[in-house]
Amino acid sequence: MKSEILKLESYLIYLRRLFHEFPELSGNEYNTQLRIIDELENLNIKYKRAGKTSVVAEIDTQREGKTLAIRADMDALPINEDNDYDFKSKNKGLMHACGHDAHMAILLGTIKILNQYKSQMNGKIKFLFQDSEEVGAGAKKLIEEGYLEDVDACIALHQDPLVNTGEIHIAKGKATAATDSVTISFFGECGHTSTPYLAKDTIIPACSFVNGLQNIILEKIDNQSQYVVVCSKFQSGIRGNIISPKTDVELSIRYFDEETRKKLVSEIKKYANSIAEFYEIKVEVEDTFGCSCTVNDDDIREKLKEASIKILGSENVIDSKPKMFSEDLSFIFEKVKGCVIILGSGKLKSERIKLNENKPIDDEYTHCLHSEKMKLNEECMKYGVAIFTEFALEFLKK
């Protein structure tokens, strides 16, 4: 298998760069879908269009056995890329800043390898190219359409440039956080900026809310709880000479248990109401649930850990804490047993585990997910393919 994957590396890089160059937003991955379909047809793999722009491919051994699903997300982000390589995004204002380009390339590479080993397996494999992960919509659609009904297990990965290439992190139990979006809307009265005392401004109250929020959360929420509260969007204003009658503040909250969620939302509402009362304006608070925690099944985790150790060695397979980012993969794992691993895509952990002497694009991988400067080490992709392949061959062995 090692030799096949070595031969595959240029194929993986080609695909990843193609996807990277032409990113598309959640629910609009139309050209991405077509590129996946073209590749599946070249490989003579059966597929169906699913969801809004998803694709479900399948390798069926025509022998009775279990069904495995392997999932990759497809969507990009509304971020203007600030990198300078040749395959930089050509779609202005859009970027694969979360590495879904690599996830798709890894899944296509896995299909190519596993199709060669079809005779060594029973059952079938579904390959889920899933749209709209970033807005928490794609996985639910695949479930609604019945693509998980006959699945015995599902595996996935997420690349992370802050983890060394050649290393994976695998959490026990909860693997990623749950998330909500909380929108606070302050309502006042507009007026001329020459007479602010005759209007009811909303920018100053909203600024007071944002500036004081973290102190309120620290005072009111148990500091043993794991959570994150971030102001990610602040929108206000009509023009420079008009007092703003409405200001919207959007918060991203992340947590691992329902009690923490309830407490966070409750304290945010109380604080927003107190600000509005002080400034004599109105406020509305809307809490929108995003997705629940992604929970790794113990049995599938152990099998995926064993497959990873075979590829990378036990010293490079790390039992890790859960990540604070969120995944709509959680909805799939509520339906079927599953496990997600964090695939290191940063600096090389060790020259010893390199499969060849190809050098990464850049020596520095210091920017996190969703950064306009995020880069990943393309050398990580072959490890993803190898781990998926090893797991599938063992899980579906004859």
CATH number for the domain that contains residue 38: 3.40.630.10
Q: Taking the CB of residue 345, how many other CB atoms lie within 10 A of it?
A: 29
Sign of the C-alpha dihedral computed for residues 270, 271, 276 and 277 taken in this order: positive
Q: Taking the CB of residue 267, how many other CB atoms lie within 10 A of it?
A: 17
Left, alpha or beta for 99 (phi > 0: left; psi -120 to 50: alpha)? left
Confidence of residue 348 (pLDDT cuts 50, 70, 90): confident
- Within a 13 Å sphere around the CA of 98, how many CA atoms are in the beta-carbon half? 23
Confidence of residue 36 (pLDDT cuts 50, 70, 90): very high
**What pLDDT shows up at residue 24?**
98
Rounded-to-integer distance, Cα 386 and Cα 113, Å: 9
**What pLDDT shows up at residue 362?**
47
Contact in structure between 22 and 31 (CB atoms under 8 Å): yes
Q: Crossing angle for the helix pair 100-116 and 380-395, nearest 10 degrees?
A: 50
Contact in structure between 109 and 4 (CB atoms under 8 Å): no
CATH of the domain at 193: 3.30.70.360
Q: Taking the CB of residue 142, how many other CB atoms lie within 10 A of it?
A: 25
Name the nearest CA neighbour of 343 among 311, 372, 371. 311
Q: What pTM, to 2 d.p., does this model score?
A: 0.93
End position of a domain, from candidates 265, 291, 317:
291
Domain region containing 253 = 178-291
Q: Crossing angle for the helix pair 258-279 and 203-220, nearest 10 degrees?
A: 140
As beta bridge partners, residue 344 has 160
| Strand segments (E) across 172-239 | 174-176, 178-187, 227-236
Cα angle for residues 245, 287, 191 (degrees, 5° grid): 0
Residue 158: is its pLDDT beyond 70? yes
* Cα dihedral: 360, 361, 362, 365 (round 10): -70
Residue 367: is its pLDDT beyond 70? yes
End position of a domain, from candidates 260, 291, 322:
291
Rounded-to-integer distance, Cα 91 and Cα 80, Å: 9
Residues 386 and 319 reside in one and the same domain:
yes
- Which percentage of the chain shows pLDDT scores above 70? 95
Residue 352: is its pLDDT beyond 70? no
The mean-pLDDT minimum among 27-31, 127-131, 328-332, 359-363 falls in 359-363
Residues 57 and 151 reside in one and the same domain:
yes
Residues 287 and 199 reside in one and the same domain:
yes
Write down the residue that tokens 């390959």 correspond to.
127
Residues 281 and 300 reside in one and the same domain:
no
Residues 188 and 132 reside in one and the same domain:
no
Residues 385 and 300 reside in one and the same domain:
yes
Residue 20: is its pLDDT beyond 70? yes
Question: Which residue type does 262 have?
Answer: K
**What pLDDT shows up at residue 363?**
52
Write down the residue that tokens 């990580």 correspond to.
380
Residues 166 and 67 reside in one and the same domain:
yes
Q: Taking the CB of residue 205, how many other CB atoms lie within 10 A of it?
A: 22
Structure confidence by residue, pLDDT tens digits, 89-108 = 999 999 999 999 999 999 99
**What pLDDT shows up at residue 350?**
56
Name the nearest CA neighbour of 156 among 77, 100, 214. 100
Q: What is the mean pLDDT of the chain?
A: 94
- Which percentage of the chain shows pLDDT scores above 90? 92
Residues 43 and 150 reside in one and the same domain:
yes
Question: Which residue type does 194 have?
Answer: S
DSSP 8-state class, residue 192: B
Structure confidence by residue, pLDDT tens digits, 273-284 = 999 999 999 999
* Cα dihedral: 155, 365, 293, 337 (round 10): 10
Residue 375: is its pLDDT beyond 70? yes
Q: How many domains does the chain have?
A: 2
Question: Which residue type does 155 have?
Answer: I
Residues 187 and 167 reside in one and the same domain:
no
Residues 213 and 242 reside in one and the same domain:
yes
Q: Taking the CB of residue 297, how many other CB atoms lie within 10 A of it?
A: 17
Residues 153 and 9 reside in one and the same domain:
yes
Pairing of strands 67-73, 124-130: parallel
Question: Which residue type does 271 have?
Answer: Y
SS3 25: coil
Cα angle for residues 234, 265, 372 (degrees, 5° grid): 40
Contact in structure between 49 and 57 (CB atoms under 8 Å): no
The pLDDT of 302-324, averaged and rounded, is 97
End position of a domain, from candidates 234, 258, 291:
291
Residues 324 and 187 reside in one and the same domain:
no
